[in-house]
Amino acid sequence: MQGDVAIIEDESPGARRSSRSSGSFFVILMLIGAALLFIYSLWFVNTHSPVEERFNQRRRPLKADTPGYLILRERAGDYLRTALNLGTLDATEGRRRGAAEYEVEGKAVRLEVEYIPDATPTLEMVFEGFLERANGTETASVLKRFPEARTPYYFAIFSGFTYTYYEFGWINGNWILRASSREAGQEALLKFVNGYVY
């Protein structure tokens, strides 16, 4: 009589640990892969979307009585102020304006601010004088406006024969703000604008 013989393998503790560790390794590998994919997607979105779509709309409110030295602050992100013209910013009545120059790595950015007490600013008011600031003509300029944005703004470009002029303009309360550059390029100008709190 022949009997069926069944061999039961008894798993040793070492074999169980091995299967658990390979499962843990696989989970860790998946988490690392997901993290790398997330980092890549952030890089892709921030470097491949147009500059004007990456304008930071979350800005501190700018009040009528904000002192000029706070508006034209000493630093905006990595940029340090190199020149300051408070103009009429610290006046108590009427329209007030001022400007400052900022620099990082030898690239200059100009920031202009203007307070308009007697009217609600519009993007047309902010854009007014663009061609004079760019020293250009209408035929070579590009304007992209975002009037319905949380912070209404525009991005404009003028391409001259020997230079390109970039400008962001936006509205904060009754204030008009403009940041522009011929030297810095659009990415550096965006970095300045997004580092500026107002």
For 140-155, the pLDDT digits (tens) are 678 899 999 999 999 9
CB burial of 12-44 (b: ≥16 within 10 Å; e: otherwise) equals: eeeeeeeeeeeeeeeeeeeeeeeeeeeeeeeee
pLDDT of residue 38: 78
For the chain, percent of residues with pLDDT exceeding 70: 84
The more confident residue out of 100 and 137 is: 100
The more confident residue out of 160 and 43 is: 160
pLDDT beyond 60 at 1: no
Query: Mean pLDDT score of the chain, rounded to an integer?
Result: 84
pLDDT beyond 90 at 198: yes
For the chain, percent of residues with pLDDT exceeding 90: 43
Two structure tokens written together for 56: 């930071």
CB atoms near residue 102 (< 10 Å): 27
